[in-house]
Amino acid sequence: MKTFIIGISGVTNGGKTTLAKNLQKHLPNCSVISQDDFFKPESEIQTDKNGFLQYDVLEALNMEKMMSAISCWMESARHSVVSTDQESAEEIPILIIEGFLLFNYNTRVYQPPDSPGYFDGHVWPMYLKYRQEMQDITWEVVYLDGTKSEQDLFLQVYEDLIQELAKQKCLQVTA
């Protein structure tokens, strides 16, 4: 059985989770795995010279556990029961993986709020560093304009996904 895996990545607090959850509501047979669920305990997170906890680095994440969750999803998708009703098309299982460092191996309010200078001094530079690494990868990547409204971004991604899923279903019929 074919599966469809979508990665949503971008700067911390940039709307990735909001977009993923909105897509999940509108796409059939869709699951979401969020990188935020795989942070190591705070006691294992290093601090920088300014005293900021270094959450925006790969070392802050338990990537093995995240990759295991993705593998489990892929295995269960292969064994999921497919509709036998010949009038309905086979639903392709969809996995959305979202996080700030994916391609490198409701808006949230942080309590307590970030310290002054944390975003500009740490989050944004780390995002730029890892985005450059991602741009060097040859996968097909669609960049979104973060200045657009949440609804416009959702519609753009949703329409692209529906077109891609339609192509996949056509390939299944003709294969």
Catalytic residue, from 36, 56, 85, 114: name it: 36
With CA atoms as reference, report the closest residue to 22 among 8, 36, 37: 8
Largest CA distance in the chain: 62
Q: What are phi and psi of 174, to 5 degrees?
A: -85, -15
Q: What are phi and psi of 88, to 5 degrees?
A: -105, 140
| Sign, Cα dihedral of 24, 30, 34, 37 | positive
With CA atoms as reference, report the closest residue to 92 among 106, 78, 113: 78
Task: State the Cα–Cα distance between residues 5 and 96, nearest whole angstrom.
Answer: 6
DSSP state at residue 94? E
120: annotated active-site residue:
no
Task: State the Cα–Cα distance between residues 79 and 108, nearest whole angstrom.
Answer: 35
Residues with catalytic roles:
36
